[in-house]
Amino acid sequence: MKKICQNCLIEKGRLPYVDQASDFREIKIENGICNLCQTFQKNFSQQRLHEELQGFLAEKNTGKYDVILALSGGKDSFTALYLAKKELDLNVLAFTYQNGFIPEKVIRQSKKICQKLNVDFVIKERSLQKSLDHYLNCQDYSLSKNFDFCSLCSQNISAYSIKLMKEHDTFRLITGDNCYESISPYVSAIRRYKPFGYKRETITINLPFALRVTKRQQEKILQKIGWKNPKISKYSSNCQIPNLIEKKFIEINGFHSEYGYLQKEIRSGFYTREEGEKFQKKTTSIFFSL
Ligand SMILES: [Zn+2]
Among 37, 62, 7, 49, residue whose Cα is nearest residue 209: 49
* Cα of 33 from ligand 1 centre, angstroms: 5
- Domain containing residue 159: 46-225
* Cα of 9 from ligand 1 centre, angstroms: 6
* Cα of 114 from ligand 1 centre, angstroms: 37
User: Is there a single domain that holds both residue 103 and residue 189?
Assistant: yes
Q: What is the pLDDT along the chain (290 residues), one digit of tens a residue?
A: 678 999 999 989 877 666 655 667 788 999 999 999 999 999 999 999 999 999 999 987 778 999 999 999 999 999 999 999 999 999 999 999 998 888 899 999 999 999 999 999 999 988 777 777 777 776 555 555 566 677 778 888 888 999 999 899 899 999 999 999 999 999 999 999 998 877 789 999 999 999 999 999 999 999 999 999 888 766 677 788 777 777 777 777 777 777 888 899 999 999 999 998 887 776 555 444 43
Cα 221–chain centre separation = 18
User: Is there a single domain that holds both residue 74 and residue 149?
Assistant: yes
Residue 133 lies in a domain: yes
* Cα of 45 from ligand 1 centre, angstroms: 18
* Cα of 15 from ligand 1 centre, angstroms: 12
User: Is there a single domain that holds both residue 110 and residue 27?
Assistant: no
Domain count, the chain: 2
Helix axes 104-116, 75-82, angle to 10 degrees: 10
CATH of the domain at 159: 3.40.50.620
* Cα of 267 from ligand 1 centre, angstroms: 6
* Cα of 103 from ligand 1 centre, angstroms: 35
User: Is there a single domain that holds both residue 182 and residue 151?
Assistant: yes
The two beta strands, 67-70 and 172-175, are parallel
User: Is there a single domain that holds both residue 66 and residue 108?
Assistant: yes
* Cα of 197 from ligand 1 centre, angstroms: 40
Residue 178 lies in a domain: yes
User: Is there a single domain that holds both residue 35 and residue 149?
Assistant: no
User: Is there a single domain that holds both residue 59 and residue 143?
Assistant: yes
* Cα of 275 from ligand 1 centre, angstroms: 15
* Cα of 268 from ligand 1 centre, angstroms: 10
User: Is there a single domain that holds both residue 101 and residue 166?
Assistant: yes
Q: Which pLDDT belongs to residue 238?
A: 79
* Cα of 47 from ligand 1 centre, angstroms: 22
Among 222, 215, 231, residue whose Cα is nearest residue 273: 215
Residue 181 lies in a domain: yes
User: Is there a single domain that holds both residue 126 and residue 160?
Assistant: yes
Residue 243 lies in a domain: no
Q: What gap in Å lies between CA 282 and CA 197, rounded to an integer?
A: 46
User: Is there a single domain that holds both residue 167 and residue 129?
Assistant: yes
Q: Which pLDDT belongs to residue 286?
A: 46
Quickly list DSSP for 96-152.
EEE-S-S-HHHHHHHHHHHHHTT-EEEEEE--HHHHHHHHHH-TT--SSSS--THHH
* Cα of 34 from ligand 1 centre, angstroms: 4
